[in-house]
Structure 1
Amino acid sequence: MTLEEHRELSTLLLERQPGLVFDALMMHQRRHGAPPSAGVPGVPWCTCGNCREMPTDQERKCCGQDQLNCVSLLPHFSQYCLEEGFIRIHRQYREDITALGNIREPGDDNREYRYGAYRHFIYWQHGALGHRNRLVIPSCCVWRIRDKFPDPQGHYTGFIPGL
């Protein structure tokens, strides 16, 4: 396979499954060492400059891009994960399938939007994962979602591994 054919195939794969970029970045980091930090004070594991501190080591994950190409700043991220109308349709569909009730408590609306946005991100980047198969979402993306759909008391569940 020529270099040009390899590039075309890589581009096609990344267009079909954008989440593969994280796998490629991790493989590159293992071979060549971690990229230089973007200089976020107190967040040395961040390369994009948009991450914030997370409560566990497992959640301290960056998208691996530079500041201009951060996944949380991509137009598709905003459309799929921050657009209320898009997530509202998903919520209604999910409520119809799972027979979940309506919103009952203050703050439940934003919580449901957050969870919907997290599900959209994972599906957009990695496709369907299957029952109890979970992945950590980069901190920069988590915080863009939390900023858009905040909890009134600032309490967030964080990543819960599949059991």
Structure 2
Amino acid sequence: QQILLLMSIESGDISLLQEMSLDDHRRLAAGMLERQPGLIFDLLLEHQQRHGAPTSAEVPGVPWCTCGKCRDMPTDRERKCCGQDPVHCVSLLPHFTQYCLDEGYLRIHRQYRENLTALGNVREPGEDNRECRHAAYRHYIFWQHGALGQGNRRVIPSCCVWRIRDKFPDPQGQYTGYIPGI
């Protein structure tokens, strides 16, 4: 049925969509999101445009946050929110958890990076969490923006930064923060 739907949409005939039941629409949407998880952001954006996003005055916490999960950051540049409402915060998405907090994914990433850079395996106390944090930051950037290249950096929303920091804390609570590209 999905192949027929795609063929009819490509030919400009959307009657098949109009004939589908609500359950069929839901199954189709779930299947599409399973195959292309990034489409969830298109759905969230459309939902926001239809229903409006909450203003920062409606969400307790820091004034620049709309998702309600952000915490204050040391610089203005780092005071960035994902821009979603509290229910759809990026830091709560299953894909964020899978890509940025799953220790198995991060371990593979770290091993691959060590093999490429020939850094070795020397670890000091607290090093494991730091490496997981930095791997999680790289995963987030790649997931959201693709490969950026050397010196090209992006700010990660505070809600996501703190979810990563909570999962992989520094023993002394000392974090470097955002470093602009050269």
Alignment TM class, shorter chain as reference: 0.7 to 0.9
1:159 aligns with 2:178: yes
Q: What CA distance in whole angstroms lies between the structure 2 residues aligned with 1:134 and 1:120?
A: 13
Q: 1:118-157 residue pairs with structure 2 within 5 A?
A: 118-157=137-176
How big is the shift at 1:102?
A: 1.3
- Is the alpha carbon distance of 1:159 and 1:103 closer, same or farther for their aligned partners in structure 2, counting shifts above 3 Å? same
Displacement of 1:105: 1.2
Structure 1 length-normalised TM? 0.79
Corresponding residue for 2:134? 115
Counterpart among 88, 92, 103 of residue 111 in structure 2: 92
Q: Is residue 2:86 matched to residue 1:67?
A: yes
Secondary structure of the residue aligned to 1:56 is coil
Contact 1:47–1:67 (CA under 8 A) maintained in structure 2: yes
CA distance in 2, matches of 1:148, 1:44: 25
Q: CA deviation at 1:93?
A: 0.4
Structure number with higher relative contact order (C-alpha < 8 Å, ≥ 6 residues apart): 1
Give ranges in structure 1 of 5+ residues lacking alignment: 5-10, 29-33
Tell me what 1:47 maps to. Answer: 66
Task: Note if contact 2:59-2:67 (Cα within 8 Å) is conserved in structure 1.
Answer: no
> What is the Cα deviation at residue 40 of structure 1?
2.3
Question: 2 CA distance for matches of 1:76 and 1:50?
Answer: 17
User: Residues of 2 paired with 1:87 and 1:145: CA distance?
Assistant: 12
Question: In the alignment, residue 118 of structure 1 is paired with which amino acid?
Answer: Y
TM-score norm. by structure 2 comes to 0.71
What are the ranges of 5 or more consecutive residues in structure 2 without an aligned counterpart?
Answer: 1-11, 15-31
Residue by residue, what CA displacement relative to the aligned partner does 1:95-130 show, whole Å, maximum 9, x if unpaired? 000001214211010000000000000000000001
Sequence identity percentage: 70
